[in-house]
A and B are shown apart, each in its own frame.
Chain A
């Protein structure tokens, strides 16, 4: 019935049915201990003919060049500086982009790999996106790394993710310092391991003066929880007499939310990968007027061209904020 050709043009066509077995991850994780990630670029088999060998050599050289470029890009020294693609207009770029990085597990399952491989590939995707945002003048990038609701996942996976966060922060800190990237972490950090908490606060401290791009990582975050903690903070001020009940306003709540660490707390564009069309308790208050873009690709497959597609879609939107244009 789902394959009936319906005469309804839908802007975001929903993806074909894919079995959603996220819940079966628990059994898988227990029987498949997290193994090291296989190389992302599989080597091509050697061919016997001379012509083919020459072609192969050239291809291998090309690949090496690409890898070198990748590495130097990751090291923060991009040789080309990644200019803005011609399809995009500089003055219509969003100031704040938010991303729900969904689909690592499915990506790994499709390739018969353990979930850890998916998360590692996802981390790579994120590094690329951070670099692009830095070059294209986006001021704030908020990413949903780990939801408060994700704590129910199997312990093996959660522990792996905590290790991954630590590893990534440690390895990327130099790049952040060099590229002028400021890192902030929002969410209930009390549930994180002590070592990670310390690492986060050190990284935040070290990069707080950077101003080119602010990377906000939402870890153990929930949009509702954010509002509740803002309310509690306001309530305590009312109790202390510092505030009257009548003073409680929208801007007051905005100031108390965890996104008060940035000059642009409201995302202009929200991208969610893997075809899911919902917000899932991410940045509730802040998304009131945000344009949504639902990408079909899984997060590890979300690269520069997909990001450009999202930005093009954003630039074509008419944002009216309730009034008439």
Chain B
């Protein structure tokens, strides 16, 4: 009898809790909501020590916390959530710990693919971000299976960073860009259409950074960046404004330089503008631009994060999303990861909303 009463009491409390949460989320929804939240799940081991738990138990508690936080985020209406599950640096830990983490990951990936899991509850598409080749075979296979199984889901996205560091991501993107440009060069040369290749140089507005598509000259100049910053190259560059996604660009008076003369023969919405005066007889080569690098990043499947939360009070990025968080506020509650709760999330979203207007204005200016 008492037990039944106890059960119904906790049921009532649970229902009230959920109702309260829904109320607060609907209040928050009046303002702008973050589209993408990134989480660094720090503090599992300290939590286990604090609670006098066995060593691996901290990570299990961390997993439960993750499920809780994810359901809060998706209930609120956040579309993308990225979590830092395992860094390439973490391979430096003791083999037993790495091994148990891999086992835990395998177990949890299997769980995610079950019927009642959070994946089906919220229609999640899962991505595993990182250098998956560094993972052991069973984990990698499970990860790929999970990605394939959820590929059709469209409601929300969960990005799990394993065997990830920003350095590795950027190096990989550079390699891929170089490879792509090299193939492009070979294709261009093969068609022998060098003289008629139109020369277009554009300033691209990419993620609020105006990158001047400079002519990189490999002349023997003392400082590397001076080689890039030829005033002649920049004089002719006219800004390109992205108006509703259509880039309007203007042809540039090119100058001839030895070495890496490049002309970006990209088309933007099908428009090619020609500039016959420049570089008639030089070898024209495509340049690497911000877009190329970003295209080849593992994280290109998601927009940039709006909030980055790192638990346990540590104030550093630890090689996580360095490229993507340049304008993202970092929020560091002192709570350890398994202790992260509803109110921390609310606080983070409130602060996001507070500075939202200012940053939208700034983005428009750029």
Contact = CB atoms under 8 A, between A and B. Distances in A.
Interface of A: 1-2, 6-12, 14, 17, 20, 22-23, 148-149, 151-152, 186-191, 222-225, 227-229, 231-236, 238-240, 245, 248-250, 253, 256, 258, 260, 276-281, 284-285, 287-294, 317, 319, 321-324
Contacts of A10: 331-334, 347
B182 interface: yes
Contact of B224 (A1, A14, A256, A284): A256
Given A322-B89, A322-B318, A324-B45, 13 more contacts: A2-B350, A17-B354, A22-B362, A190-B231, A227-B170, A238-B178, A239-B182, A239-B185, A253-B174, A277-B330, A288-B165, A289-B316, A290-B316
B204 to A, nearest CB: 11
B301 interface: no
Nearest to B173: A231
B224 A253 contact: no
Contact of A323 (B93, B179, B289): B93
B89 A235 contact: no
Interface centre among B285, B317, B328, by most A CB within 10 Å?
Answer: B317
A302 to B, nearest CB: 17
A287 to B, nearest CB: 6
Contacts of A223: 326
A278 B329 contact: yes
Nearest to B87: A322
A232 B209 CA distance: 17
Interface residues of B, number: 81
B365 interface: yes
Nearest to B357: A20
Given A6-B347, A224-B211, A278-B327, A245 B315 contact: no
Contacts of B185: 239
A281 to B, nearest CB: 4
A8 B355 contact: no
Contacts of A190: 214, 228-231, 233-234
A11 B313 contact: yes
Interface string B71-103: 000000000000000011110111001000000
B260 A239 contact: yes
Of all A-B residue pairs in the complex, the 7 with the closest CB atoms, nearest first, are: A322-B89, A190-B229, A323-B92, A292-B315, A288-B319, A20-B358, A11-B313
Interface string B262-294: 000000000000000000000001011110010
Interface in B178-225: 178-179, 181-182, 185, 207-212, 214, 216, 218, 224-225
8 contacts: A8-B347, A9-B333, A149-B208, A231-B288, A236-B259, A236-B260, A284-B322, A323-B92
A257 to B, nearest CB: 10
Contacts of B88: 322
B206 to A, nearest CB: 8
B178 A224 contact: no
Contact of B92 (A234, A260, A279, A322): A322
A64 B267 CA distance: 67
A8 B335 contact: yes
A186 B208 CA distance: 20
B316 A291 contact: yes
Given A149-B208, A190-B231, A279 B174 contact: no
Contacts of A7: 343
A281 B88 CA distance: 24
A229 B225 contact: yes
Given A245-B175, A289-B319, A239 B285 contact: yes
B331 A23 contact: no
A232 B351 contact: no
Interface string B293-315: 10000000000000000000111
B211 A250 contact: no
B167 interface: yes
A9 B42 CA distance: 16
Given A149-B209, A190-B231, A322-B92, A8 B344 contact: yes
Contacts of A8: 333, 335, 343-344, 347
A228 B365 contact: no
Nearest to A151: B210
Contacts of A289: 316-319
B366 A152 contact: yes
Contacts of A1: 350
A92 to B, nearest CB: 16
Contacts of A277: 329-331
Contacts of B328: 278
B89 A323 contact: yes
Nearest to A26: B365
A235 B334 CA distance: 43
Contacts of B174: 231, 234-235, 248, 253
Contacts of A293: 315
Interface centre among A1, A228, A258, A260 (most CB of B within 10 A): A228
A153 to B, nearest CB: 9
A128 B118 CA distance: 55
A232 B179 contact: no
Contact of A9 (B210, B334, B366): B334
Contacts of A250: 167-168, 171
Contacts of A232: 216, 228, 260, 287-288
B260 A11 contact: no
B335 A253 contact: no
A248 B350 CA distance: 42
A288 B315 contact: no
Contacts of A20: 355, 358
